[in-house]
């Protein structure tokens, strides 16, 4: 049984406070949905918890099975069992999905041949083209292929807790079903995966049943409930929270300036 505990987390980008006291606990086998308007800080939450550089934590704590994560670099958090499927997966020229996964598996003492077989299996289960396994990570992939790529990583790395940041964006209906079915399956095995799924749409939850739904706006969780809250949000939108929401007019280039710092980078896997 694993437990990711986020307590009163505050974080800034530059001098702008984005996270204003987030508390959330995700245990093995649980699916937590975080739903909220654009620009409310959902991706920031995923980045701060998984250790993407560029954010300043100004308060609170994050622990995984009692180990404090905030002092650790991203790769050590990953090694501790935390996984992030990014909203905008990073292109990594010179590193293939296969080399990235076999290197991290070897570092963890796993047999690279076994890992290669797992990659093929995982790719097949979600319709990720085998050609893409050996191509540079995410380079020239479509939005949907990038999301499937993230899902293959999730399947092979077998984390304790996964944060999925808009894993549904760019996926067609069939691909989304395959991806969410794969994640749901991981939450049901022995030693089950715990999931924090960030999304705008309840369609993500057709296959992946959320145990808890949290409305996130203006840097905090405004309210929490069960699956019925996702239904309600789909009807009402975030209008109840709209007064709290700042308009996000920051160009993407400024919002994602660390787009080239990745898990692969932190493992130093560049081959050329
Ligand atoms: P969401 O994922 O909920 O759409 P984000 O976490 O991406 O929201 O962004 C929250 C706010 O923080 C936005 O106003 C965004 O422009 C700002 N922000 C996020 N990252 C950065 C950054 N690296 N530099 C400047 N502003 C940022
Ligand atoms: Mg986001």
Half-sphere exposure of 37 (CA within 13 A, CB side): 19
Query: 16-27 and 3-13 as β-strands: parallel, antiparallel, unpaired?
Result: antiparallel
Report all structural domains of the chain as residue ranges with CATH numbers, in order of start.
3-267 (3.40.50.300)
Average pLDDT over residues 148-165: 96
The encoded tokens of residue 23 equal 């508390």
Q: Where are the beta strands (DSSP E) in the chain?
A: 3-13, 16-27, 31-35, 56-64, 67-68, 82-85, 92-96, 136-137, 161-165, 194-199, 212-217, 220-225
For tokens 């809250």, what's the residue?
A: 229
Sheet holding 212-217, edge to edge: 82-85, 161-165, 194-199, 31-35, 212-217, 220-225
pTM over 0.85: yes
Q: Which ligand is nearest to the CA of 169?
A: 2
- Show the CA angle centred on residue 155, arms to residues 43 and 147, nearest 5°: 45
For tokens 């549904």, what's the residue?
A: 168
The rounded percent of the chain whose pLDDT value lies above 90 is 73
pLDDT by residue (tens digit) across 72-122?
999 999 999 999 999 999 899 999 999 999 998 888 888 999 999 999 999
* First-to-final CA distance of the chain: 40
Q: Is the CB of residue 219 below 6 angstroms from any atom belonging to ligand 1? A: no
pLDDT by residue (tens digit) across 9-45?
999 999 999 999 999 999 999 999 999 998 999 999 9
Position with higher pLDDT, 34 vs 269 = 34
Question: Ligand 1, from 219, 250, 252: best to mutate by most atoms within 8 Å of Cβ?
Answer: 250
Q: How confident is the model at residue 250 (pLDDT cuts 50, 70, 90)?
A: low
Average pLDDT over residues 254-262: 44
Q: How confident is the model at residue 248 (pLDDT cuts 50, 70, 90)?
A: low
Q: Is the CB of residue 118 below 6 angstroms from any atom belonging to ligand 1? A: no
pLDDT by residue (tens digit) across 182-208?
999 999 988 899 999 999 888 899 889
Residue 8 near residue 45, CB atoms below 8 Å: no
The encoded tokens of residue 248 equal 């996000």
Give pLDDT, residue 84.
Answer: 97
Position with higher pLDDT, 67 vs 237 = 67
């Amino acid at each position: 049984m694993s437990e990711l505990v986020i307590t009163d987390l505050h974080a800034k980008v530059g001098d702008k406070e984005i996270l204003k006291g987030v508390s959330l606990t995700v245990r093995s086998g649980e699916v937590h949905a975080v739903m909220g308007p654009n620009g409310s800080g959902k991706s920031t939450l995923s980045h701060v918890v998984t250790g993407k550089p560029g954010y300043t934590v100004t308060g609170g704590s994050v622990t995984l099975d009692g180990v404090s994560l905030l002092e650790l670099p991203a790769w050590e958090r990953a090694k501790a069992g935390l996984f992030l499927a990014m909203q905008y997966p990073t292109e990594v020229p010179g590193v293939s999905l296969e080399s990235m996964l076999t290197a991290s598996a070897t570092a963890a003492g796993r047999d690279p041949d076994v890992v290669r077989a797992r990659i093929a299996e995982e790719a097949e289960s979600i319709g990720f083209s085998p050609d893409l396994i050996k191509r540079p990570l995410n380079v020239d992939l479509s939005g949907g292929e990038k999301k499937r790529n993230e899902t293959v990583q999730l399947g092979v790395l077998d984390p304790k807790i996964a944060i999925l940041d808009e894993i549904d964006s760019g996926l067609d209906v069939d691909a989304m079903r395959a991806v969410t079915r794969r994640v749901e399956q991981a939450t049901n095995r022995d030693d089950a995966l715990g999931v924090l799924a960030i999304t705008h749409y309840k369609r993500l939850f057709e296959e992946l049943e959320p145990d808890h739904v949290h409305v996130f706006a203006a840097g905090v969780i405004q309210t929490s409930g069960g699956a019925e809250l996702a239904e309600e949000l789909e009807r009402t939108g975030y209008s109840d929270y709209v007064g709290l929401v700042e308009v996000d007019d920051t160009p993407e280039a400024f919002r994602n300036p660390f787009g080239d710092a990745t898990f692969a980078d932190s493992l130093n896997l560049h081959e050329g």
